[in-house]
């Protein structure tokens, strides 16, 4: 950043934004009741292989704006308030045979019902973050999906629905089912509830009810996520000596 040469004297890469859109698809035959963590794959006419939604960035447009626009125009879905999360910059010089490109890869999660309008495929992923179909995507997009899935699973160990897949207010069962789908494992009801309790507040739904019943059984109480005091809250912090901090 410290050169006095004109910017135009430097060769410049093409910079793309690619987005792994993740969701929990309703349960199939597998794993009984548990939904499946899945990723949105586009199949453009002129491409041999499936790709993630993405395009090159335009001047005077931020990355966040680009993400939103890509989802709207390429995937034909409304991202709403969902926050895209930077994964990393993919910079292998040979990642695109057309020339020198960088990909600023992002992950983003959306509730399944907002993806059905899209003309894209929703493909489940396995434990290692590969597509269950074994499909090979274009460019390095399989790797982007793997990293997106890994980061997402990691975060779902630590906090209640950090990607906002569940609409508030929700019941503990709804919350747990989403976590089970993301993590790909059944979770213990009692321990899960107690863990999450510290990060939730009781709430009412639009109708002012403090609990809901689905069709049978005891009605469940409603919760919203407590505005989290910090991402690091649930991890250990080193013990300060004396009263410092």
Binding site for DNA (CB under 7 A): 171-173, 188-191, 193-195, 211, 213-221, 236-239
Single residue of 39, 41, 79, 101 touching a copy of itself by CB under 8 A: 101
Residue 15 found at the interface with a copy of itself (CB under 8 A): yes
Q: How far apart are the first and last CA of the chain?
A: 37
Check: CB of residue 42 under 8 Å from CB of residue 18: no
Q: DSSP readout, 21-33?
A: EEEEEPP-STTTT
Confirm if 151 and 159 have CB atoms less than 8 A apart: no
135 in contact with a copy of itself (CB under 8 A): no
| Rounded CA separation 32/23 (Å) | 18
| Stretch in the footprint of a copy of itself (CB under 8 A) among 114-122, 128-136, 163-171, 188-196 | 188-196
Contact range with a copy of itself by CB under 8 A, out of 3-11, 118-126, 167-175, 205-213: 3-11
Q: Whole-number minimum distance, CB 165 to DNA, in Å?
A: 17
Nearer to DNA, 7 or 241 (CB): 241
Handedness of CA 95, 97, 100, 105 (dihedral sign): negative
Q: Which does 15 bind (CB under 5 to 8 A by kind): a copy of itself, DNA, none?
A: a copy of itself
CB-based contacts of 237: which residues, under 8 Å, 6+ apart? Answer: none
Residue 3 near which of DNA, a copy of itself, none (CB within 5-8 Å, type-dependent): a copy of itself
Q: How far is the CB of 115 from DNA (least distance, A)?
A: 25
Give CA angle at 95 (182, 110), nearest 5°. Answer: 25
Closer residue to a copy of itself in complex, CB, 97/206: 97
Instruction: From the list DNA, a copy of itself, none, pick the one residue 150 interacts with, judged by a Cβ distance below 5 to 8 Å according to partner type.
Output: none
**Torsion, Cα of 134, 86, 58, 16 (10° steps):** -30
Q: Which does 157 bind (CB under 5 to 8 A by kind): DNA, a copy of itself, none?
A: a copy of itself
CB 45 within 8 A of CB 91: no
Nearer to DNA, 124 or 169 (CB): 169
58 contacts which partner out of a copy of itself, DNA, none, CB within 5 to 8 A by kind? a copy of itself
Query: Both tokens of residue 111?
Result: 């509730």
CB of 106 closer than 8 Å to CB of 86:
yes
User: Which residue among 20, 21, 40, 42 contacts a copy of itself (CB under 8 A)?
Assistant: 42
Main-chain dihedrals φ then ψ at residue 127, nearest 5 degrees? -60, -35
Positions 198 through 227 that interact with a copy of itself (CB under 8 A): none
Closest distance of CB 106 from DNA, Å: 31
Q: Please, which contacts does 207-216 make with residues 24 or more away whose CB atoms are closer than 8 Å?
A: 212/171
């Amino acid at each position: 950043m410290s050169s006095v040469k004109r910017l135009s004297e430097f060769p410049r890469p093409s910079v793309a934004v690619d987005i792994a859109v993740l969701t929990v698809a309703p349960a199939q035959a597998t794993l009984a009741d548990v939904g499946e963590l899945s990723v949105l794959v586009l199949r453009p006419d002129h491409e041999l292989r499936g790709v993630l939604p993405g395009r090159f960035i335009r001047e005077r447009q931020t990355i966040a704006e680009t993400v939103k626009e890509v989802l709207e125009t390429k995937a034909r879905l409304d991202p709403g308030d969902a926050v895209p999360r930077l994964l990393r910059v993919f910079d292998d010089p040979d990642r695109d045979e057309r020339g020198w490109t960088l990909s600023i890869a992002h992950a983003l999660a959306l509730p399944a019902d907002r993806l059905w309008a899209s003309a894209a495929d929703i493909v489940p992923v396995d434990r290692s973050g590969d597509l269950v179909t074994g499909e090979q995507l274009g460019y390095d997009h399989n790797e982007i999906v793997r990293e997106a899935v890994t980061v997402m699973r990691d975060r779902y160990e630590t906090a209640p629905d950090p990607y906002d897949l569940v609409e508030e207010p929700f019941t503990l069962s709804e919350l747990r089912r989403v976590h089970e789908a993301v993590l790909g494992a059944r979770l213990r009801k009692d321990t899960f509830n107690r863990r999450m309790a510290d990060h939730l507040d009781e709430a009412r739904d639009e109708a002012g009810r403090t609990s809901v019943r689905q069709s049978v059984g005891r009605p469940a109480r409603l919760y919203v996520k407590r505005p989290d005091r910090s991402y690091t809250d649930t991890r250990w912090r080193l013990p300060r000596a004396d009263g410092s901090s």
